[in-house]
Amino acid sequence: MHLENFIDHTLLRPTATGKDIIQLCTEALNYNFYGVCINGCHLPLAKDLLKDSKVKLVSVVGFPLGSMSTKAKVNEAMVYMEQGAHELDMVLNVGWLRSGDYMAVQEEIRQVKEVVGNNVLKVILETCYLTDTEIITACKLAVNAKADFVKTSTGFGPRGASIEDVILMKKAAGNRIKIKASGGIKDAVTVQNYIDLGVARIGTSSGVAIVVNQN
């Protein structure tokens, strides 16, 4: 299996420089990664570097905490779509979810999806902060709001993806929404394990090492 077809080659460190983004995009082109996942301020540079290629531009909204206003997330999404993003990964409002304010969570996702339109919206659950019941609820809200993916983690929480989380998300979402696993994924065996569970995308900063050592 060509693991590179599943990978969003990721660099979300706040200290990332233009030189770092150039390296990321060069690697994405050289290894045929599905996409690059970057902070919004780097979209114009990455768009120029990846023009005329098949590599998708993926950026993040409400990152990494998810606790800003809905209006702020919607406006951020609008700007990034205008700058050429193909896909957006937005952080769910964990505080609202844990408070039981489910309609606010769903409506926020719906409004961002409205901006994203026919492009892909992934909802980051940040599963490390959630109970099993909350993970299931979050998946259902994302489905109801017409998001395209649910995603495990930002990579900035106390832990990243886990097999247990993905199994739970798959059970909750079924085939109604896709799953992206991210956070702490560093080797080809782990990637393959997630793909075998039905994960459609992998977010990792270790993409080069993964594809080089996949055989």
Residues annotated as part of the active site: 89, 151, 180
CA separation for the pair 81, 193 (Å, rounded):
32
207, 9 contact by CB (below 8 A): yes
Any idea which residue has 């045929």 for tokens? 32
**CA angle in degrees (0–180, nearest 5) for 97-98-104:** 25
Rg (C-alpha) for the chain, rounded Å, is 16
CA separation for the pair 66, 207 (Å, rounded):
25
CA separation for the pair 74, 116 (Å, rounded):
9
Using alpha carbons, select from 137, 57, 59 the residue that is nearest to residue 93.
Answer: 137
Amino acid at 198: G
188, 213 contact by CB (below 8 A): yes
Amino acid at 171: K
Distances (CA, A) of 57 to 35, 36, 153: 6, 6, 19
